[in-house]
Structure 1
Amino acid sequence: MSGISLACWAPMVPFAKTRLGLDEAHLGMVLLAMGCGSLASMPLAGFLSHRFGNRRVIGIGALSVCLFMPWLTLAPTAWMLAIALFCFGASHGVVDVAMNAHAVDVERMSGGGIMSGFHGLFSTGGLVGSAGMSLLLAAGAPLLACAVVLAIVLAVLTVSQWKNFLEHAQAEDAKKHTIFAWPSTAVILLGVLCCISFLAEGAMLDWSAVFLRSSRQVGYDMAGLGYAAFSIAMAVGRLSGDFLVRRFGAVNMVRWGAVTASLGFFIATCLPWAGSSLFGFLLVGIGAANIVPVLFSAAGRQGGSAPGIAIATVTTLGYTGMLTGPAAIGYAAHATSLPLALSAIAVLLLGVAALAPMARR
């Protein structure tokens, strides 16, 4: 549900840009509203999950996402779109924290590493959402109708799975920590690395369609294929990630994944063809696929913080990159160019590769 609904926004961005007559800088400011909503709700989500259990928080948060999704196609002004994005982002923030905490509980109960598989299903949702929206638009369906249909499907999916979520499954040692304790330095550093990786994902979500449309002259109906290619690679990489991590080790997965993602950004922005850009976005997905799941698992193993606090910290810092980074990209694109702004992410990813040994701790 989370992956599909978030990916549905990617093909909507060029429509919003054209409908409201926004340049890159103003669009970046509007996109910032989604990040503000998520970051405002994430600390509250940790408390709500602790107080009421993951089942209620995930379910109610997911239904809220479905409720706000059609708003994104109706906003008549930039301010109204910003408000809709704030509410949409806040609902997503609640779901993101609760579902990752839920995944840590399930991973602990299963006795094996399965975090990449969970994130792989998020990426699968990203593929379904972006491809589904592109197909509906190509068939001539109005944008509002596309959003309403997918919101109804996701609401049915949420209600049908509600009873299968866990309430509370915290380990005994985790209960010894107060929920308000300050996270350890190692957890904060892992969160910073997640922030950069999520920044790359956020750039794909909010700017891949705009880049293909404005810099590679791809049609509106096909502009969502950039995020679709990225999501395909993410899904395949994450669904096979648990095996790959066991085979090559966590440090190598982070190091070479970051290098591959960096190369993908350079190829997408430096070569002038639409096909090469799609290939570059594919490499970004392959490289970034398992960086975040590995770092999340590393955070959950830290001894200086309760698992819930560690996950909340890494999630919040990570989504700071995903949700506020695109606004910074918008300003950088306005001051220079969109290809150059996206190339800067490649440099940051090389920094993640240099700090990959953090995943071992």
Structure 2
Amino acid sequence: MTDTAALSRADDARPVLRAAAPGPEAAQRRATRIVFFMLGFATAAWAPLVPYAKARLDLDNHALGLLLLCLGTGALVSMPVAGAMVHRLGCRIVIIACSLIMAAALPVLATADSPPLMALTLFLFGVAAGAFGVAVNIQAVIVERASGRPVMSGFHGLYSVGGILGAAGMVGLMGLGIPVYWAAPCASLVVLIALPVAAPQLLAHGGEGGGSILAIPKGIVILISGLCFVMFLAEGAMLDWGAVFLTASDGMKASIAGLGYTVFATTMSAGRLSGDWLVARLGRIPLAIGGAACAGLGFVITTVAPVWPLALLGFAIIGAGCANVAPSLFSSAGRQTRMPESAAISAASTFGYGGILVGPALIGFVAAASSLHIAFLGLAGLLGLVAIGARYLPR
């Protein structure tokens, strides 16, 4: 009887002990938010350095375009193999290595005085950024699954916040008269300070792996990757063509045309920061369907707007609509069973980044053959297809 009573008391105590013991999920979520912020911050810190690089190296627009292609090429080289690398080495090692490379590259990008050195540094910066992006999304999928609740949108929201602060911080420092060769190390310092805070709680493993080293989408991952391409294409259109559209079509002054992307980025960030709350109440797939449809509507409004204030409303709607579709797609890549999650996320990331790189050029071709209005309406149609395709995502 004594043994039975003791066992009974032990069984009763176990749930209490489990509830009282602090789990690692909260610390892992915090670390994941930090590294998403770091990636957005470091990537955006490069953008204000571009005009200085152009002037320092005495480049024309064509030469600058070829130079910038090195960054995209580096990312596209690393992304297809990053999933296998994360599976073998773990999220922590890959994220730490990529963070150090990006932090080391920024001061070189601010001071390189020869095109070959700038090209090599940009390529390495792109390699690190591409692998970093795959690794943090694999970390995010695993952490979200362990949390048992939606957290992916919030992670991507911190990436957006990091991007805004990275670009604004660099502009602010240089606006205060701080030389570019001191401003860039300041950006690197932010990354180096944040890294040891997050590193202990980054995952030492990299999720499910297997298959080939090169991530080639299969089954449902083909759909997910295609939808990622369109969503990132829409984001790239806002970045590269938004200001051009506002000045050419709606008569907005060139000096304030950047307001279009600012509105888009602001509503996207707000949408992502509130996205986990929306996913918990609406569901991930309905939110992805509605978000893509909303973004498509925003492109229609922007295209038919007779005045630029109404076009800015369209930009705001596009940002709000796009906000939570990509995070939902990455969650779906980790939820499907056709491919190992590390390979699926690697494939989706590659196609998404491909949309950012190739998309603006495709829009330019369409605009040259017809008009920018037709190109934007074409994007609205593609986003409608995303809304239809999102119905078939893994539930």
Band of TM-score, shorter chain: 0.7 to 0.9
Indicate how the Cα distance of structure 1 residues 267 and 22 shifts in structure 2: closer, same or farther if over 3 A, else same. Answer: farther
TM-score (norm 1): 0.82
Indicate how the Cα distance of structure 1 residues 197 and 21 shifts in structure 2: closer, same or farther if over 3 A, else same. Answer: same
C-alpha distance in 2, partners of 1:153/1:28?
28
Number of the residue aligned with 1:350: 384
Whether the 8 Å contact between 2:223 and 2:389 is mirrored in structure 1 is no
Residue deviations 1:223-273 (CA, integer Å, cap 9, x gap): 655444333222221122122123223332122211222233344455476
Indicate how the Cα distance of structure 1 residues 298 and 44 shifts in structure 2: closer, same or farther if over 3 A, else same. Answer: closer
1:201 aligned onto 2:235: yes
Aligned-partner residue type, residue 89 of structure 2 = F
Aligned-partner residue type, residue 286 of structure 1 = A
Number of the residue aligned with 2:59: 20
For residues 261-340 of structure 1, the aligned pairs below 5 Å read 261-268=295-302, 271=305, 275-332=309-366
1:85 aligned onto 2:126: no
For residues 1-361 of structure 1, the aligned pairs below 5 Å read 1-12=38-49, 20-22=59-61, 30-73=67-110, 83-168=120-205, 170=207, 174=208, 177-178=210-211, 180=213, 183-208=217-242, 216-219=252-255, 225-268=259-302, 271=305, 275-332=309-366, 341-342=375-376, 344-361=378-395
**DSSP 3-state at the match of 2:286:** helix
With a CA cutoff of 8 Å and minimum separation of 6, indicate the structure with the bigger relative contact order: 1
Aligned-partner residue type, residue 187 of structure 1 = V
Residue deviations 1:189-216 (CA, integer Å, cap 9, x gap): 1110011111122333445566668874
Indicate how the Cα distance of structure 1 residues 85 and 188 shifts in structure 2: closer, same or farther if over 3 A, else same. Answer: same
Whether the 8 Å contact between 2:83 and 2:345 is mirrored in structure 1 is no
Please provide the CA RMSD for this pair.
Answer: 3.4
C-alpha distance in 2, partners of 1:279/1:14?
30
Aligned-partner residue type, residue 203 of structure 1 = A
C-alpha distance in 1, partners of 2:258/2:179?
16
Aligned-partner residue type, residue 217 of structure 1 = K
Structure 1 residue 62: deviation in Å? 1.4
Aligned-partner residue type, residue 59 of structure 1 = I
- Worse overlay, 144-153 or 247-256: 144-153
Number of the residue aligned with 2:7: none
Structure 1 residue 98: deviation in Å? 0.8
Structure 1 residue 41: deviation in Å? 0.7
Indicate how the Cα distance of structure 1 residues 341 and 72 shifts in structure 2: closer, same or farther if over 3 A, else same. Answer: farther
Structure with higher Rg: it is 2
Whether the 8 Å contact between 2:91 and 2:206 is mirrored in structure 1 is no
Aligned-partner residue type, residue 21 of structure 1 = D
C-alpha distance in 2, partners of 1:226/1:328?
21
**DSSP 3-state at the match of 1:195:** helix
Aligned-partner residue type, residue 285 of structure 2 = V
Whether the 8 Å contact between 1:37 and 1:86 is mirrored in structure 2 is yes
Structure 1 residue 276: deviation in Å? 4.6
Whether the 8 Å contact between 1:53 and 1:168 is mirrored in structure 2 is yes
Q: Which runs of 5+ in 1 are unaligned?
A: none
Whether the 8 Å contact between 1:116 and 1:239 is mirrored in structure 2 is yes
C-alpha distance in 2, partners of 1:7/1:252?
31
Whether the 8 Å contact between 1:255 and 1:354 is mirrored in structure 2 is yes
Indicate how the Cα distance of structure 1 residues 278 and 135 shifts in structure 2: closer, same or farther if over 3 A, else same. Answer: farther
TM-score (norm 2): 0.76
- Worse overlay, 6-15 or 280-289: 6-15
- Worse overlay, 343-352 or 312-321: 343-352
**DSSP 3-state at the match of 1:355:** helix
Residue deviations 1:101-148 (CA, integer Å, cap 9, x gap): 111121122222221121111112122223334444554555554433
Indicate how the Cα distance of structure 1 residues 338 and 150 shifts in structure 2: closer, same or farther if over 3 A, else same. Answer: farther
Residue deviations 1:137-183 (CA, integer Å, cap 9, x gap): 5545555544332222223222432222111163xxx36x4455864
Residue deviations 1:21-77 (CA, integer Å, cap 9, x gap): 326xx7665544332211101133223212221111101101212222345455668
C-alpha distance in 2, partners of 1:297/1:261?
20
